[in-house]
Structure 1
Amino acid sequence: MDSILLVFICMLAGVGLQRVKAFPKNAYVALNQFVIYISLPALALYYIPKIAVSFKLLYPLGVAWIGFLLAFLFFFTLGRAMGWSKKLTGCLILTAGLGNTSFVGFPIIEALYGKEGLQTAIIVDQPGTFVVMATFGIMVAAAYSRGAVGTSAIIRKIVLFPPFIAFFTAIFMNVAGYDFTDSLQSVFQRLGSTVTPVALVAVGMQLKIERKSRHWGFLGLGLFFKLIIMPAFFFVLYKLAIGAEWLAIDVSVMEAAMAPMITASILASSHGLKPRLSGMMIGVGIPLSFLTLALWYWILQF
């Protein structure tokens, strides 16, 4: 429960800082960069060397990898058909394609399914959502951002992106069976734990919910996809088509129903992909997801 309180307190703190004159209006830019250059690389270097690879990962992993592909196909096709800007399409792919499987997901899954369910949630998040964000998420952000002209420019943005460098360093360590000393691991864990408070304060500082905003239609579509269509897809695929009935399947469906990923919003914002809409996807999506999660938990009981 304390993790959920942290989400709301930090977001409200960010909203409050909008009225504090001592803070520059663009202070959230520095916070975004701190998350990207410090917090996310630290997370990768702490968690990825510890991941044990096995076939048991396949179902939970599918939530992140297949889910992101589904979002890409959905919004790419719709964006082309409707004549959307690249920034809008990229924003919706990132924020509707990646779920908040850890900071909101972990406490909810542990409360509903206990420690066993939490083990599955960690698989969904670390080799799943986090790795997708650090690879395909960065690719989408680079490809759809301003100034990304041509393949070489996109590749340069991806290769030089700090979480991407940290991700491949951590993958190499995992394959080599090597991890950092306990002291360094403790440092990386503490730096990585700053993702939630810093990112949410930054989101709150950008959050401006205007009644007459032109983003409401896109917000509704993005949240409908993330909170309803994506979990429905995995419910049909895992529960009905495959017919799997074990606990990990229910946890996987619930994780698919989580609100948009906080760091996906930061990634979109830092690349100029509709920062206001990406902030609204988090600010509106997180509280709304508590209602839709209750619905999916009820459905999974039958």
Structure 2
Amino acid sequence: MEVSVIIESVVSLFIIILVGVYGSRKKIITAETNKRLVDILIQIALPFMIVSSFIYTYDHTIKSNVIKTFYYSIIAYIIMIFVSHLLLLPVKGHKKTILHFANVFTNTGYVGFPILNSIYGTEGVVYGSIFNMFFVILVWTYGLILFKDNFSKKELKAELKKILLNPSIIAVCIGIIIMIFDIQLSGALISSIEAIGNITGPLSMIIIGVILSNVKIQKYLKDWTVYYGVVTKLIIIPAIIYLISLLVGNPSKAINTVIIMSAMPASAMTSILAESFDKEKEYAAVIVSVTTLLSLITVTVLLKIIL
């Protein structure tokens, strides 16, 4: 069942990417339109998806594991950041930024959640939401700093203010409040939140498709950093996290969830932020697409090992 879900998720991603390619080739989606789509994704769709990920019923056992998932997620991100820095020392320039971002930030939402749901059901999605919470916080802090390069003190203060007021960060805060106080929302409100949040995945893939439509794939076939980046992202880092998890002792749903989410392909945000900051956007689209395709194999192998 897990394998079929992986296949369906990845195939679905690429079908939607092809829609973006088609829209660009037919001039339905122009470069300016694509920038506006990025704004809609970041400012509207993504925050709603974040809030929807926290709308579940929590029993005492799950709440206990949620706390553990907090710690495991923090440790996993520290490992990914540290190991990625070491492994990418041979890579230079903006490509290093793209690969490092891709290593740290995985496709938790559109690929990760369906897989967790097929394995552990709603409980798995809850733990995945905690991992995703750190994803959101780090994307708009650490991730933004990676693309923005250096900040002056004045700029840093202004950016920190923007980060705190970022719709995604606000969404995380709302989600935590819903979880802690077990707030029950009306059916209509939940349906609306989920409906808006559900466009995040398809919209992000269409954006990548538009970017890919202008990519000259041939020039990347001889780029060693693409192959090195893929191996680092999909094999080396997940393997290190798994081996370290063995030191923790007894495997659990909380630990396995963090391992699985860490092994997901590069987040679509890799390409979206590269587009926003105009840094190796074609290269970023290639990395996202290739890791997504090859995750069909690597994630399947990982699931056979840990489950």
TM-score range, shorter chain: 0.7 to 0.9
Moved more, 153-162 or 190-199: 153-162
Following TM superposition, by how much is the alpha carbon of 1:161 offset from its aligned partner in structure 2, in angstroms? Answer: 2.0
* SS in structure 2 at match of 1:18: helix
Structural mapping, 1:21-100, within 5 Å? 21-48=27-54, 50=56, 52=58, 54-57=63-66, 60-61=69-70, 64-77=73-86, 81-82=89-90, 84-85=92-93, 87-100=94-107
- In 1: Cα distance, 2:149 partner to 2:259 partner: 37
Following TM superposition, by how much is the alpha carbon of 1:289 offset from its aligned partner in structure 2, in angstroms? Answer: 0.8
Equivalent position to 2:129, from 126, 138, 143:
126
> Does 2:160 correspond to 1:155?
yes
Equivalent position to 1:13, from 9, 19, 32:
19
- In 1: Cα distance, 2:219 partner to 2:101 partner: 24
Unmatched tracts of structure 1, length 5 or more = none
**Residues matched between the structures, number:** 293
> Does 2:291 correspond to 1:285?
yes
- In 2: Cα distance, 1:218 partner to 1:133 partner: 24
Q: If the length of structure 1 is used for normalisation, what is the TM-score?
A: 0.82
Checking the alignment, whether the CA contact within 8 Å between 2:163 and 2:169 is kept in structure 1 is yes
Aligned-residue sequence identity (percent) comes to: 20
- What is aligned with 2:208? 203
- What is aligned with 1:299? 305
Moved more, 144-153 or 37-46: 144-153
Moved more, 194-203 or 15-24: 15-24
Equivalent position to 2:227, from 207, 211, 220:
220
Following TM superposition, by how much is the alpha carbon of 1:40 offset from its aligned partner in structure 2, in angstroms? Answer: 1.0
* SS in structure 1 at match of 2:110: coil
Equivalent position to 1:168, from 173, 189, 206:
173
Moved more, 227-236 or 190-199: 227-236
* SS in structure 2 at match of 1:104: helix
Checking the alignment, whether the CA contact within 8 Å between 1:45 and 1:170 is kept in structure 2 is yes
Structure 2 counterpart of 1:122, which letter? V
- In 1: Cα distance, 2:285 partner to 2:71 partner: 26
* SS in structure 1 at match of 2:53: helix
Unmatched tracts of structure 2, length 5 or more = none
- In 1: Cα distance, 2:223 partner to 2:284 partner: 12
Following TM superposition, by how much is the alpha carbon of 1:185 offset from its aligned partner in structure 2, in angstroms? Answer: 1.6
Following TM superposition, by how much is the alpha carbon of 1:189 offset from its aligned partner in structure 2, in angstroms? Answer: 0.5
Q: If the length of structure 2 is used for normalisation, what is the TM-score?
A: 0.81
Equivalent position to 1:191, from 183, 196, 209:
196
Shift in CA distance, 279/60, structure 1 to aligned 2, threshold 3 Å: farther
Please give the per-residue CA displacement for 1:37-79, whole angstroms capped at 9, x wherever unaligned: 1111112232335474733135655664333322322344566
Structure 1 counterpart of 2:133, which letter? V
Following TM superposition, by how much is the alpha carbon of 1:106 offset from its aligned partner in structure 2, in angstroms? Answer: 3.8
Shift in CA distance, 77/273, structure 1 to aligned 2, threshold 3 Å: farther
> Does 2:138 correspond to 1:136?
yes
Following TM superposition, by how much is the alpha carbon of 1:162 offset from its aligned partner in structure 2, in angstroms? Answer: 1.7
**TM-align CA RMSD:** 3.0
Please give the per-residue CA displacement for 1:179-207, whole angstroms capped at 9, x wherever unaligned: 54322221110000001111100011112
Checking the alignment, whether the CA contact within 8 Å between 1:90 and 1:140 is kept in structure 2 is no
Checking the alignment, whether the CA contact within 8 Å between 2:265 and 2:295 is kept in structure 1 is yes
Shift in CA distance, 175/56, structure 1 to aligned 2, threshold 3 Å: closer
- In 1: Cα distance, 2:298 partner to 2:231 partner: 10
Checking the alignment, whether the CA contact within 8 Å between 2:106 and 2:263 is kept in structure 1 is yes
Checking the alignment, whether the CA contact within 8 Å between 2:274 and 2:281 is kept in structure 1 is yes
